[in-house]
Chains A and B, each alone.
Chain A
Amino acid sequence: MFRRHLGWVAAVAVACLAACGSGGPATSAGGGGAKEVTVFAAASLTGTFTELGKAFEAAHPGTTVRFNFGSSATLAQQIVQGAPADVFAAASPATMKTVTDASLASAPVTFARNTLQIAVPAGNPARVDELKDLADPRVKVALCAEQVPCGAAAAKALAAAGLKITPVTLEQDVKATLTKVQLGEADAALVYKTDVIAAAGKVEGIDFPEAGQAVNDYPIAALAKAPAGGAAKEFVDLVLSQQGRGVLTKAGFEAAPR
């Protein structure tokens, strides 16, 4: 009886270890054959980086690129807490600073810039034309919370315009903010141009001059302890290459100044 139980428990333990093992970083598969590059990237980079990841895999047969997209701040926290990342691409210098301050990366490079647009639902029901229309109390405005990069950028732009507006909501991230407009719950939102382009057809984008005051820089860095080693640097190089710039500008990013 006892032996049978022991065997059963051992089997469970082994299964558990195996499962835990495969859930962890597979990047160390190193040795030979398959390699993996794990990229932590801001949610706003989901489309472009996925495309670049495919290009990287095509150029480096046998290497796979895994992505973890999310809020830059969350990703930075995960990296500081020891998440096994090779590359970090953030939506703001501030979040990158969390990682560099922890000496986990050095010399981040700005690879793209994102500017704000006013997003309105298709058809623009509230007839928003310019930034000061958002101050109209009848217009329901969704903004990102100031704690996240798009919110900080919006606050900067509004300050530059000398406007004080009362939003109905301060969303957690830019996608959530845009969703409110997309569903017509909000009449307008300040979001990144890239997000407006990604949601083309469902929302309309309106440029406004004050956006120039709140340009958002996207830094990227290969991490100091990158398990994938050199491959991490190669991925960063791809993002910074002509090909990378092409993908990014097509999506609405501005190229970073050289």
Chain B
Amino acid sequence: MTLDARLIVNRPAFTLDIALEVAPGEVVALLGPNGAGKTTALRALAGLTALSGGHIALDGRPLHTRPADQRPVGMVFQDYLLFPHLSALDNVAFGPRCRGASRSEARRTAAALLERVGLAAHATAKPRRLSGGQAQRVALARALAVEPRLLLLDEPLAALDAHTRLEIRSGLRRHLADFDGATVLVTHDPLDAMVLADRLIVVENGAIVQQGAPAEVARRPRTDYVARLVGLNLYRGLGDGARIKVGELAFSTIEQLDGPAFVAFSPAAVALYRTRPDGSPRNLWQAVIDGIERHGDNVRVHLDGPVAAFVDITPAALADLDLTPGQRIWASVKATETHAYPA
């Protein structure tokens, strides 16, 4: 185990308490809403925020007893924080210089790294002459230049526009794959997390609420926040064979579960009817339309009722059904479209 940490930071009205284990070469993403404590965790690992308790061990050696400048850590900051008065090359050479390399040695290291991130041509440029994507890559090169055992990335793509983001994300993924130390990245963007990380750790209110492989987290969200991130309706209820009771509703499911359980389904799996449909489809309930909004190419309908739910329908369906907010409506979801798992 490369990184083994228990981070406890007490602040007025906020406590962060999470345990982290990251293997060599592994990329772990801390995912969570704003104010969850992700960045605090990262700063604690870097030594920029003092721990109130816990420990940090890297390769079996304690890290939390050392000041920031003596930790074998490289950090990429949210808005990169490239030194504005230094060229791209000197920014990257800064770390090696501080760690004792001679000027020419440091510049050689820096030039090689800039080459690796495809910015050799911009070595002499000052940061303000670099585009967002270029600055991000210089920041990555600068963090890697100190040959860290632990790489920390704080919202590495948040400052980029959508187009650049796509390109930089795949580039970053490649570089992270090449890196043999532990990587912890912080993001609030599920897509970044899914693409870049081997494992997700979801943090809410200073505590870990869920962790696992990205696909696992996406399929089986365990909090409303994660469900919203991955775009699923999620309910917690009580399993009773092939049914899960959620309030006054009972969802029929494929899975056989007893005791506390989650049931999740996609907003696209819900069908809406103006009148009670014939026959008796399972999982039918009456709801009130709370709101209607565009959602990509579709329309997202917010339902209130025995359970709150999102429903995605096509614009054509919206016109056919002639839906307006406040209207009463019938909703149903097939048992085969639900996914149930123990809570």
A and B touch in the complex (CB under 8 A): no
